[in-house]
Structure 1
Amino acid sequence: MIRYSLICDAGHSFDSWFRDSSGFDKQAAEGRVSCPFCDSTKIARDVMAPNVAKHRDGAARDGDGRELRMKLRELHDTVVAHTEDVGDRFPDEARAMEDGETERRAIRGRATFEEAKALLEEGIEILPLPGLPGDGN
């Protein structure tokens, strides 16, 4: 099995698993791979970070893994420091800002997949902020 980072013609990124490289190629050519956000079937492989092999003791074989995690932590902390956490009210707050009912500001919060998809379908730009490995975020 292989996991690919994919991107649709509308710019939505997502991951999906395939039996092998040719499995993706065949399914994509047949229009059987679609974007979970907009249902587009114009899908291409996105830029992917390599899966770094580990020694038996669990240490990464290259020194870049630690540096990458530190940079991701820095980015994550910067986003958190410069946004307001609206929690589960995220979909409502995003719509209120889009409709001009509240002041535009940088927010973050939680939304279900269905809520996020609905926001995107309404033309409201959102960006997921994934948790960091090992943090439980």
Structure 2
Amino acid sequence: MIKFSLKCAEDHRFDSWFQSAASFDKLARAGLIVCAECGSPDVTKSIMAPSVQSARGDAPPKRQQLAAPETPAQKAIAQLRRKVEANSEYVGTDFIRQARDIHEGAAPERPIWGEARADEARKLMDDGAAILPLPFRPTRKVN
């Protein structure tokens, strides 16, 4: 995992973790990285200093806690996340199949959310399904 400092075309700055530098590039090309404050998909990596542990065996840096939302946009996104998680079913990577079944009447209508590739989501929207991208990703549980 790698942490990048990012900034959008409006000069809003934020940090995010990625699997690799190539992963960031792939997601950026697909338009899946957006500014949390203004929603701009024009996001680039900004200059950052790496966090390196010395060879002397210094204690590793303390793990950073996720910061509480600060800006009105961050607060609105946090509130939206709480509402989505409380009022809909997370279906994970099965989102496209289940959303298509609901759209075509093969499954009962219900609020769902999940993960999808951008091209699959666009095709589903082009077919008339009422879906939209969310400005957050699912919280991952890690050991």
Normalised by the size of structure 2, how large is the TM-score? 0.46
TM-score, length of structure 1 as denominator length: 0.48
